[in-house]
Amino acid sequence: MTRTTARITHLRAAGVSFVVELGDPLPRVLHWGEDLGELTGDDLAALGLTADGVVLNNAPDDARRFTVWPTEADGWTGTPAHQGHRGGVATTPRPRLTGAREGDGELVLELADEVSGLDLTLTYRLEPSGVLTVRTDITRPLRAAGEDATAGQDPAPYDLAAVTTLLPLPARAGEILDFTGKWCRERAPQRGSLAYGSHVREVRRGRPGQDAPHLLTVGVPGFGFRSGEVWGLHVAWSGNQRWLAERSPEGAGVHGSVLGGGELLAPGEIRLAPGDSYSAPLCCFVWSGEGLDGLADRFHSLLRARPAHPASPRPLTLNTWEAVYFDHRLDRLLDLTDRAAAIGVERLVLDDGWFSGRRDDTAGLGDWTVDATVWPDGLGPLADRVHGHGMEFGLWVEPEMVNLDSTLAAEHPDWILGPSVGLGGSSRHQYVLNVAHPDAWAYLLKSLDTLISRYGIDYLKWDHNRDLNEGVARGAGGRDRPGVHAQTEGVYRLLDALKERHPALEIESCSSGGARVDLGVLARTDRVWASDCNDPVERQAVQRWTGQLLPPELIGAHVGGPRSHTTGRVTDESFRYLTALFGHAGIEDDLTARTPEELDRLGRWVALYKEVRALLHSGRVVRADLDDDSTLLHGVVAEDGGAALYCWARTATSAPAQAGRTRLPGLDPAARYEVRVRDEAGLPALHQVSGPAWFTAALSGWVPLPGAVLAGAGVPLPTLDPAQALLLEVRRV
Ligand code: DGJ
């Protein structure tokens, strides 16, 4: 294949290099990873010169290349960049580069494919955080301006089967980490070797799910939180998805394997007529030479740099769910509100149960008006009391869902997403509303808009409690069309429209606790409810791994009652407090059942949260690599390194009697520090007689300890009883 001498583009940011050779017929990525420094034209040419591998025996006669749009035309036998057909033909795309422009950290490639008749635009943006975002836009163009739209064109739509955004990885990346999970055990890590073949994660729930891949990471074997070279991918999309890491014996050009992602499209879901277009989900690729903390740091920086990132101190929240469930009695809720205000709560959220017919979870979804029997005077008396205390008022909604036992379902059965032959089974007694239906969408916007305006709602807890099984939009004569893509876009439009009308409104992505945690929904929401599980033993893990993508201020973390409602485990107050402290903290408990002493202690914790949230919500998240899986040491270090908070936690007993010298991650070994124990949230029960000596001293004040000891040699940490945690504060002197 003839190829011209190519121009080479080099994007650099925050220690990352991305080098693309703008060759003919297609560009290829020469390098994505560690910063290669300031490269001259000759240096870049040398990179290009060394970008071809060997011609293998019994193989294509040109060295295989891995391009930005890999197809079979290159001899590529892995997952192609796109698949589709036009009425059964045009199945072998062969795009060519038609234009390229670069500037301001961005490289835009224009490709045209005569076979499929599609124009493709790839936008690579290396963000200041070092995260490389890739946007893919596909258009089926109108052939000539001014002509009849379809003149001269095959009128059959182009059925887009799959679009996968792919980037190459070096052969040394041989270990894979991603996530799975279930309700109340979200983001459970799974790790193993990157074997030959495809590691594919397909999400068919119409939401990322409790078992979402979350962040697909491949690294040099042995990578940890603090060290190792790692490459990761997040697909920023809330509908169906496909993520993969793929390794073949002949590699991908000179690279060893590939990382890719996109939307999982149903057959026939995207059919492009002339003039139509499709945008694939934004794929966020991230590299770090500093382990998983390095990856997390880049994502946190990316998110914090957004103009709409929540900037105000994250209000201490009380959510009513585990306090009252469906028992909505005004006097009880007013009492709860008063007690919340007295201990310093700043936002009160009225959870499920307030709307028409909603006395339990079998009825009412869809009828977004206040239940007149339970709330004869509307929500005003509660909203006014909340606002009167200077608190924000939040309300639970689940706009995308409907119970068959509702006025909405009775009046608009055609608005329900599901096949014409009859709806399938319910889930949590509910079905999905077709948000892409213009009338359903308009109804939701009007209902929510009215509520927000009437009650001065500051915050919506936006739930979504079921998968989108058989997510088809009903059509005349049984011509049902796949609807998950349109549903996802419809929800995004709804969120955007509400934010536009109410710029100060904050929205939480809840979804059964943690089933819609993605950067697509977070582009228009302000935090996630990470899990319905408030049991701190479980929560330590859920928050740790949710934090792999999201900074603490976006992760809702609430203190529950002594006995967890979801696991039945009883835990000490201080462990619950310290676990919830490291997120956007709140309370999920019936304060009317707490003694004055308990409320007093809760108030001290609230004050502690308010004192330290500026640090927790702006600093770098650090996690120590420990041999003992039953212990966790994590913290947040201020950007300037001058202050830090650490949580030393034990979830279970373990064989080692003591941790021994342990390094506090993220500190400067050359700096001088002092350390103290913070006891406002209580102190842990210890599984030891006494010591270590520095800890005993730090219980009553600052203890000077140099960085050489804290971050270099390490300090012995006390042995905690199971389900206990300790809070350490460090500051530079
Ligand atoms: C699921 C959520 O995760 C809970 O916090 C609560 O809001 C319930 N739904 C209410 O139905």
Q: How many A from CA of 171 to the centre of ligand 1?
A: 44
Looking at residue 3, its pLDDT comes to 39
Whether the CB-CB separation of 588 and 603 falls below 8 Å is answered with no
CA distance 115 to 112: 9
Looking at residue 698, its pLDDT comes to 98
What burial letters (b/e) apply to 557-580, b meaning 16+ CB within 10 Å? bbbbbeebbbbeeebbbbbbbbbb
What burial letters (b/e) apply to 660-681, b meaning 16+ CB within 10 Å? eebbbbbbbeebebbbbbbebb
Q: How many A from CA of 456 to the centre of ligand 1?
A: 22
Q: How many A from CA of 654 to the centre of ligand 1?
A: 34
| pLDDT tens for each residue of 609-647 | 999 999 999 999 999 999 999 999 999 999 999 999 999
Show the 3-state SS of 17-40: EEEEEECCCCCEEEEEEECCCCCC
End-to-end, the C-alpha distance of the chain in Å comes to: 64
| pLDDT tens for each residue of 206-236 | 999 999 999 999 999 999 999 999 999 999 9
User: Which residue is catalytic, options 463, 526, 535, 590?
Assistant: 463
SS3 state at 285 = strand
pLDDT band of 145, cuts 50, 70, 90: very low
User: Which residue is catalytic, options 211, 480, 532, 572?
Assistant: 532
Looking at residue 278, its pLDDT comes to 98
pTM of the complete model beyond 0.85: yes
Looking at residue 143, its pLDDT comes to 67
Backbone angles phi, psi at 108, to 5 degrees: -115, 125
Q: What share of the chain is helix, strand, coil (3-state, %, to 5)?
A: 25, 35, 45
Asked if the 621-732 domain carries CATH number 1.20.990.10, the reply is no
Looking at residue 148, its pLDDT comes to 44
Q: Is the pLDDT of residue 4 over 60?
A: no
Span 328-341, mean pLDDT?
98
pLDDT band of 149, cuts 50, 70, 90: very low
Decide whether any atom of ligand 1 lies within 6 Å of the 529 Cβ: yes
Query: Which residues partner with 193 through β-bridges?
Result: 175
CA distance 720 to 718: 6
Q: Is the pLDDT of residue 372 over 60?
A: yes
Pairing state between β 317-319 and 347-350? parallel
Residue appearing with tokens 């809330």: 238
Mean confidence (pLDDT) of the chain: 96
Decide whether any atom of ligand 1 lies within 6 Å of the 322 Cβ: no
Decide whether any atom of ligand 1 lies within 6 Å of the 588 Cβ: no
Q: How many A from CA of 393 to the centre of ligand 1?
A: 17
| pLDDT tens for each residue of 644-670 | 999 999 999 999 999 999 999 999 999
Q: How many A from CA of 653 to the centre of ligand 1?
A: 32
CA distance 70 to 553: 39
Q: Is the pLDDT of residue 455 over 80?
A: yes
> What stretch(es) of the chain map to CATH 2.60.40.1180?
621-732
Q: Is the pLDDT of residue 689 over 70?
A: yes
Q: What stretch of H or E contains 47? A: helix 41-49
Looking at residue 152, its pLDDT comes to 59
Span 34-43, mean pLDDT?
97
> What stretch(es) of the chain map to CATH 2.70.98.60?
80-304
Span 511-523, mean pLDDT?
98
| Residue of the CA atom closest to atom 6 of ligand 1 | 321
Whether the CB-CB separation of 305 and 317 falls below 8 Å is answered with no
Span 464-480, mean pLDDT?
96
CA distance 299 to 291: 13
CA distance 288 to 286: 7
| Contacts of 727 by beta carbon, 8 Å cutoff, 6+ apart | 578, 581, 645, 646, 647, 677, 678, 679, 681
Query: Which residues partner with 177 through β-bridges?
Result: 191, 217
- Domain 80-304 class in CATH: mainly beta
CB neighbours of residue 481 within 10 Å: 14
- The CA radius of gyration of the chain, in Å to the nearest whole number, is 27
Decide whether any atom of ligand 1 lies within 6 Å of the 465 Cβ: yes
My answer on whether omega of the bond before 315 falls inside 30° of 0, hence cis, is: no
Q: Does residue 178 have an active-site annotation?
A: no
Q: Does residue 532 have an active-site annotation?
A: yes
Backbone angles phi, psi at 447, to 5 degrees: -60, -50
Q: Is the pLDDT of residue 154 over 80?
A: no
| pLDDT tens for each residue of 593-614 | 999 999 999 999 999 999 999 9
What is the identity of the amino acid at 503? P
Looking at residue 6, its pLDDT comes to 73
Express as a percent the part of the chain with pLDDT over 90.
97
Pairing state between β 175-182 and 185-193? antiparallel
Span 157-179, mean pLDDT?
98
Express as a percent the part of the chain with pLDDT over 70.
98
Decide whether any atom of ligand 1 lies within 6 Å of the 21 Cβ: no
Whether the CB-CB separation of 150 and 158 falls below 8 Å is answered with no
Whether the CB-CB separation of 457 and 395 falls below 8 Å is answered with yes
| Residue of the CA atom closest to atom 11 of ligand 1 | 352
Residue to probe by mutation, ligand 1, list 512, 587, 588, most atoms within 8 Å of CB: 512
Number of residues that make up the chain: 733
Residue to probe by mutation, ligand 1, list 463, 508, 555, most atoms within 8 Å of CB: 463
Ligand 1 atom, smallest distance to 529 CA: 3
Whether the CB-CB separation of 224 and 288 falls below 8 Å is answered with no
DSSP structural state of residue 120 = E
